[in-house]
């Protein structure tokens, strides 16, 4: 570092050195801060991922509960009326739970339950079959019957529009699909039967049930409300491919499989079906028992398919005496996701940061926008998979039978994490400290380089200032000693020797005074003097100096200032004025008007001593610099005026030591230097 501050040192080397040093500190600090922020963001991401895992488990558990209820339903519940209790012992007829419209355990988004008989006939537990709908014994008034008929028609319309009913519009397609569907169903069901049993496929299935056998091959691309594919999601997966994430997802899937294994699978049950419902009133009025048919049924687990209309269908096969019946329910996919997924998501801490995507077989069905995304899109759901962007947070599949559905959480912007604000504040403080510190170092280094140069110039100037008068004094002294000067010239030689010695004395006095100031060893002899006394003393010391330089002087004393008393060091004040006069004589030596004005005037709180010349003045950019130590205007190689650069600096330091101040202003023409000293109170 000291080598960088030599007087001959190029400031560019100092800038390079400090720049490299700053870079050496900034780079590792920036890397450390970046790594810390990344770690905080990763920890925050892990916390939100944990929330997503827990939410996925809650949604899966609720779905498993709803599916378990549907799986546990007896096949006899799909009729409007059913026998309560053991079919072999009970004679109690009651309405099926599925016939209740506003029951509390409704499947999310449910439109209704349905049944497709072996002969392809559609029925729903919402309505009794045939003419029994008008049977007053069933307790349905006209309004209730109309409401149930509307629900039944809507359910039938949904199934028919998706080619799942053997009506006039879909029968031809069902006939085309029937042979292959029956063969596939027979092969699958035969594999599930016990040894020695045979699979009987009803003839009626070829017309009304074949379409259900093709649902497993239903392409999700046919669904009308898809928003794109999962691979169109603009998600970054940098934090989603770790082994821990994969293990957690496998663990979730295993938990879901264990959760549904308790109720999934084929089962056998004994059920009872009523005979002609029209005979219900007549049978109940007499003692004759109701006619009930008892069956041993085999019930397959529920399967799921997403229909082209956007509805979801859960259906199962029920076998009675070798004949197959299709039972199931239809639900609205949007209402299902709202009730089961969106309500569990919206309003949570996870919702505030992330978006949730519902996908089926790699096709996006719905995007529930989080609070952050709603700042960009003022809607609750987004209309395209491409609008989902950010970091993949968590992805999980739902349990069977909806195993084709997946939930995908994403974060548009990674959260900063706890403690990030402190890191940001520390980063700003560190950056400010480094920048300000290096700026101060640079200023100090430049100041030292300038000072070193000024000291070098000062040494050169002092050497010149000492050598020139000494050479002249020696020359004239030798001429006088050898008697080479005539009597008419001796007086002039003596005067020249006297002037040069005075000049040397002033230079030496300035240097000694500066040395005392630098060592803080200056001791002023402050005495109370009136301004007029000081003016008389100054005249005796300044007149000779001014007259020998060929200048005239004009003293101006303000009467009010003359009465004021000052606490000053007379010698120091004289030295200050001598330096100002000497400075004016040097820089105004070639001025057309060889004159100085020395004025003593009153100020509101003291007295002002001013020296004005009629020379070229001082450049505006140098008015403050000329009082700096070792500063001399102009270039060292082209400067005409002599000097050491310490006279004006010494004036300012002495003025401040006596509680005053000094400044300079330009006049037209010339420049005026002013010393302001405080006066004593009356």
Kindly state whether residue 421 falls inside one of the protein's structural domains: no
By DSSP bridging, strand 595-603 and strand 552-557 are: parallel
Report the length, in residues, of the chain. 682
Same domain, 106 and 89: yes
Element (H, E) at 288: none
Same domain, 134 and 239: no
Residue 295's alpha-carbon distances to 21, 76, 97, 320, in angstroms, are: 92, 10, 20, 7
CB-based contacts of 213: which residues, under 8 Å, 6+ apart? 177, 181, 182, 184, 185
The two tokens of residue 513 are 């005074």
Are the C-beta atoms of residues 368 and 345 closer than 8 Å to each other? yes
Measured CA angle at 551 (ends 545, 554), to 5 deg: 95
Mean pLDDT of 438-449: 86
Kindly state whether residue 363 falls inside one of the protein's structural domains: yes
Reported as a pLDDT band with limits 50, 70 and 90, residue 270 is confident
Kindly state whether residue 53 falls inside one of the protein's structural domains: yes
The two tokens of residue 638 are 């082209």
Using CB atoms within 10 A of its CB, is residue 484 exposed (0-12), middle (13-18) or buried (19+)? Answer: exposed
Kindly state whether residue 429 falls inside one of the protein's structural domains: no
Q: How far apart, in whole angstroms, are the C-alpha atoms of residue 614 and residue 554?
A: 12
User: Is residue 268 pLDDT above 80, yes or no?
Assistant: yes
Greatest extent of the chain over all pairs of C-alpha atoms, in Å: 175
Per-residue pLDDT of 560-600, as tens digits, reads 888 888 998 888 888 889 889 988 888 888 888 899 999 99
Same domain, 489 and 625: yes
Same domain, 366 and 270: no
Per-residue pLDDT of 500-511, as tens digits, reads 787 778 778 777
Same domain, 552 and 648: yes
Mean pLDDT of 112-124: 90
Per-residue pLDDT of 465-476, as tens digits, reads 677 778 878 888
Same domain, 633 and 524: yes
Residue 290 gets which letter from DSSP? P
CB-based contacts of 671: which residues, under 8 Å, 6+ apart? 584, 587, 612, 613, 615, 617, 618, 664, 665
Instruction: Give the end of a domain, one of 414, 435, 469.
Output: 414
Same domain, 31 and 108: no
CB-based contacts of 133: which residues, under 8 Å, 6+ apart? 127, 140, 145, 149
Same domain, 344 and 397: yes
Kindly state whether residue 186 falls inside one of the protein's structural domains: yes
Q: Domain of residue 493: give its range.
A: 459-678
CATH code, 497:
3.30.565.10
Closest residue by Cα to residue 332 from 564, 154, 472: 154
User: Is residue 251 pLDDT above 70, yes or no?
Assistant: no
Kindly state whether residue 671 falls inside one of the protein's structural domains: yes
Same domain, 382 and 271: no
* 3-class DSSP string for 469-524: HHHHHHHHHHHHHHCCCCHHHHHHHHHHHHHHHHHHHHHHHHHHHHHHHHCCCCCC
User: Is residue 190 pLDDT above 50, yes or no?
Assistant: no
User: Is residue 203 pLDDT above 50, yes or no?
Assistant: no
Q: Under DSSP, is residue 666 helix (H, G, I), strand (E, B) or coil? A: strand
Rg (CA), the chain: 54
- Span between the terminal Cα atoms of the chain, in Å: 56
Q: Is the entire prediction scored with pTM above 0.85? A: no
Mean pLDDT of 498-521: 74
Paired with 199 in beta bridges are none
Neighbours of 445 (CB within 10 A): 21
Instruction: Give the end of a domain, one of 286, 309, 332.
Output: 332
Instruction: Give the end of a domain, one of 308, 332, 356.
Output: 332
CB-based contacts of 556: which residues, under 8 Å, 6+ apart? 597, 598, 599, 600, 601
Kindly state whether residue 561 falls inside one of the protein's structural domains: yes
Are the C-beta atoms of residues 128 and 221 closer than 8 Å to each other? no
Task: Report which of residues 447 and 63 the model is more confident about.
Answer: 63
Same domain, 15 and 100: no
Mean pLDDT of 2-16: 66
Per-residue pLDDT of 318-336, as tens digits, reads 998 888 999 999 999 889 9
Per-residue pLDDT of 640-669, as tens digits, reads 555 667 788 888 888 988 899 999 999 888
Using CB atoms within 10 A of its CB, is residue 646 exposed (0-12), middle (13-18) or buried (19+)? Answer: buried
Centroid of chain to Cα 681: 64
**pLDDT for res 391:** 85
Are the C-beta atoms of residues 271 and 75 closer than 8 Å to each other? yes
User: Is residue 519 pLDDT above 90, yes or no?
Assistant: no
The two tokens of residue 79 are 């009729």
**pLDDT for res 317:** 92
**pLDDT for res 298:** 92
Q: What is the mean pLDDT of the chain?
A: 78
Neighbours of 1 (CB within 10 A): 11
| Phi, psi (deg, nearest 5) at residue 658 | -100, 15
Residue 254's alpha-carbon distances to 8, 62, 245, 247, 394, in angstroms, are: 79, 16, 14, 10, 16
Kindly state whether residue 280 falls inside one of the protein's structural domains: yes
Task: Report which of residues 156 and 641 the model is more confident about.
Answer: 156
Residue 442's alpha-carbon distances to 6, 366, 454, in angstroms, are: 14, 60, 18
Q: How many CA atoms lie within 13 A of 458 on its CB side?
A: 19
Q: How far apart, in whole angstroms, are the C-alpha atoms of residue 244 and residue 252?
A: 12
User: Is residue 254 pLDDT above 60, yes or no?
Assistant: no
Report H helices in 286-398: 333-337, 343-345, 349-353, 371-374
Per-residue pLDDT of 629-642, as tens digits, reads 777 665 544 445 55
Measured CA angle at 486 (ends 483, 490), to 5 deg: 85
Helices 487-518 & 531-548 angle (0-180, nearest 10): 130
Mean pLDDT check: name the lowest of 195-199, 428-432, 546-550.
Answer: 195-199
**pLDDT for res 184:** 45
Torsion over CA: 192, 198, 203, 204 (sign): negative
Task: Report which of residues 114 and 458 the model is more confident about.
Answer: 114
Reported as a pLDDT band with limits 50, 70 and 90, residue 304 is very high
Mean pLDDT of 372-393: 77
Q: How far apart, in whole angstroms, are the C-alpha atoms of residue 229 and residue 30?
A: 40
- Residue % of the chain over a pLDDT of 70: 76
Task: Report which of residues 6 and 169 the model is more confident about.
Answer: 6
Q: Under DSSP, is residue 583 helix (H, G, I), strand (E, B) or coil? A: helix
| Phi, psi (deg, nearest 5) at residue 93 | -100, 135
Same domain, 553 and 481: yes
Same domain, 366 and 323: no
Q: How far apart, in whole angstroms, are the C-alpha atoms of residue 288 and residue 522?
A: 136
Are the C-beta atoms of residues 583 and 559 closer than 8 Å to each other? no
Mean pLDDT of 70-75: 90
Number of separate domains in the chain: 3
Q: How far apart, in whole angstroms, are the C-alpha atoms of residue 48 and residue 54?
A: 10
Q: How far apart, in whole angstroms, are the C-alpha atoms of residue 301 and residue 400?
A: 10
């Amino acid at each position: 570092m000291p080598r960088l501050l030599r007087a001959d040192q190029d400031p560019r080397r100092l800038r390079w050195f400090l720049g490299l040093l700053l870079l050496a500190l900034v780079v590792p600090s920036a890397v450390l801060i970046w790594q810390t922020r990344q770690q905080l963001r990763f920890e925050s991401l892990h916390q939100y991922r944990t929330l997503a895992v827990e939410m996925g488990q809650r949604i899966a558990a609720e779905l498993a509960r709803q599916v378990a209820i549907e799986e546990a339903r007896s096949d006899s519940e799909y009729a409007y009326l059913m026998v309560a209790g053991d079919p072999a012992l009970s004679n109690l007829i009651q309405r099926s739970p599925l016939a209740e419209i506003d029951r509390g355990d409704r499947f999310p988004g449910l439109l209704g339950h349905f049944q497709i008989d072996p002969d392809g006939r559609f029925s729903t537990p919402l309505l009794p079959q045939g003419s029994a709908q008008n049977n007053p014994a069933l307790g349905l008034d006209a309004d209730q019957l109309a409401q149930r008929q509307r629900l039944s028609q809507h359910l039938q319309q949904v199934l028919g529009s998706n080619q799942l009913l053997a009506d006039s519009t879909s029968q031809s397609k069902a006939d085309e699909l029937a042979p292959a569907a029956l063969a596939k169903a027979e092969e699958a069901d035969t594999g599930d039967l016990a040894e020695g049993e045979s699979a009987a496929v009803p003839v009626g299935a070829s017309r009304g049930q074949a379409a259900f056998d093709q649902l497993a091959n239903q392409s999700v691309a046919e669904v009308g409300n898809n928003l794109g594919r999962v691979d169109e999601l603009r998600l970054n997966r940098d934090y989603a491919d770790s082994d821990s994430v994969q293990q957690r997802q496998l663990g979730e899937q295993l938990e879901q499989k264990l959760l549904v294994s308790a109720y999934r699978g084929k089962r056998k049950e004994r059920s009872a079906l009523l005979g002609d419902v029209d005979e219900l009133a007549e049978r109940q009025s007499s003692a004759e028992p109701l006619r009930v048919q008892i069956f041993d049924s085999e019930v397959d687990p529920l399967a799921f398919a997403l229909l082209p209309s956007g509805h979801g269908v859960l259906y199962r096969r029920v076998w009675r005496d070798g004949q197959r019946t299709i039972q199931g329910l239809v639900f609205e996919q949007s209402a299902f996701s709202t009730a089961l997924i969106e309500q569990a998501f919206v309003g949570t801490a996870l919702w505030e940061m992330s978006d949730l995507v519902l996908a089926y077989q790699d096709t996006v069905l719905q995007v529930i926008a989080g609070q952050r995304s709603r700042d960009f899109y003022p809607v609750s759901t987004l209309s395209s998979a491409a609008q989902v962007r950010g970091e993949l947070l968590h992805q999980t599949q739902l349990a069977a039978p909806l195993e084709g559905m997946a939930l995908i959480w994403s974060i548009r912007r990674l959260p900063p994490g706890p403690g990030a604000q402190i890191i940001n504040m520390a980063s700003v403080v560190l950056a400010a400290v480094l920048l300000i510190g290096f700026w101060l170092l640079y200023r100090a280094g430049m100041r030292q380089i300038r000072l070193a140069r000024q000291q070098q110039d000062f040494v050169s100037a002092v050497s010149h200032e000492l050598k020139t008068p000494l050479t002249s004094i020696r020359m004239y002294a030798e001429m006088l000693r050898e008697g080479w000067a005539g009597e008419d010239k001796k007086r002039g030689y003596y005067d020249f020797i006297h002037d040069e010695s005075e000049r040397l004395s002033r230079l030496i006095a300035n240097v000694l005074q500066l040395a005392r100031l630098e060592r803080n060893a200056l001791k002023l002899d402050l005495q109370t003097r009136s301004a007029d006394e000081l003016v008389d003393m100054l005249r005796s010391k300044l007149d000779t100096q001014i007259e020998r330089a060929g200048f005239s002087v004009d003293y101006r004393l303000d009467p009010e200032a003359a009465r004021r008393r000052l606490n000053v060091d007379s010698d120091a004040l004289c030295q200050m004025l001598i330096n100002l006069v000497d400075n004016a004589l040097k820089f105004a030596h070639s001025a057309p008007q060889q004159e100085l004005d020395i004025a003593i005037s009153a100020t509101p709180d003291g007295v002002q001593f001013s020296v004005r010349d009629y020379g070229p003045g001082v450049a505006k950019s140098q008015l403050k610099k000329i009082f700096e130590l070792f500063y001399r205007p102009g270039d060292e190689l082209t400067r005409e005026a002599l000097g050491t650069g310490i006279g004006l600096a010494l004036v300012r330091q002495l003025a401040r030591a006596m509680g005053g101040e000094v400044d300079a202003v330009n006049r037209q023409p010339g420049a005026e230097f002013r010393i302001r000293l405080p006066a004593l109170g009356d």
